Amino acid sequence: MRISRKKRPARALLPVYYMNDRIKAPQVRVIDAAENNLGVMDIAQALERARAEELDLVEINPKAVPPVCKIVDFTHFKYQREKELKKQKAKSHVSDTKGVRLSIRIGDHDLDVRKAQAENFLNRGDKVKPEIILRGRENARPALAFEVLERFYRLLATAVPIKYEQAPTKQANKVTAIIVKTGLPGVAEGEDGDEMDKKD
């Protein structure tokens, strides 16, 4: 299956807000800039009230009956809403498991590249799953794969506080582990000299 490389169009952070003469409802419930409920008004009366205060009438809940509008400086209102939504988006990141492919013969430079990738994933809240596929005669020497995983783990631990969620394990011709970021800075868990159990 071919993977599309086209970027999806960016979705607007804010919904569309109708304001002033673009509000279509004949009557609206009005809230002033101080959050006071002024009750239901004809749209002409609400617009007159907003203009008298040199502010905008913004429809903030079009699904209500009648729609709810707020008298506010729209530029400031938009800035505050964008700020709130960005904060919510940052908190709502769903943790994913990202694979990082290693090999028994991986060089120091490639290991550094994989470490930088893993560091990125961990810092944004994802889990990292390093994976080594054993090919041909490598299947007879799985200990080498565990050594590479341990090298990768210790290298990554110099940049990010981490621990194993799943210790290195061999399944069929793959050796994998799952690494997560811990909440505490300092030495990564599992680096106290105890040797990890290695399952052949």
- Count of beta carbons in the 10 Å neighbourhood of residue 157: 20
- pLDDT, residue 111, reads 93
Instruction: Specify whether 27 is located in the same domain as 87.
Output: yes
Domain with residue 73: its CATH number is 3.10.20.80
Instruction: Specify whether 111 is located in the same domain as 176.
Output: yes
pTM, entire model: 0.48
Which of 158, 160, 164, 152 lies closest to 112 in space, CA to CA?
152
Note the pLDDT tens digit of each residue in 126-151.
999 999 999 888 888 889 999 999 99
> Rounded to a whole number, what is the distance in angstroms from the first to the last CA of the chain?
34
- pLDDT, residue 117, reads 94
Residue 151 domain boundaries: 97-181
Domain boundary among 33, 64, 91: 91
Choose between 190 and 88: higher pLDDT. Answer: 88
Provide the number of structural domains found in the chain.
Answer: 2
Spatial separation of the C-alpha atoms in residues 197 and 128, rounded to whole Å? 19
Spatial separation of the C-alpha atoms in residues 200 and 189, rounded to whole Å? 23
DSSP β-ladder status, 68-72 and 27-31: parallel
Tokens of 164: 């194993």
Are the beta carbons of 141 and 103 closer than 8 angstroms?
no
Residue 107 within any structural domain of the chain: yes
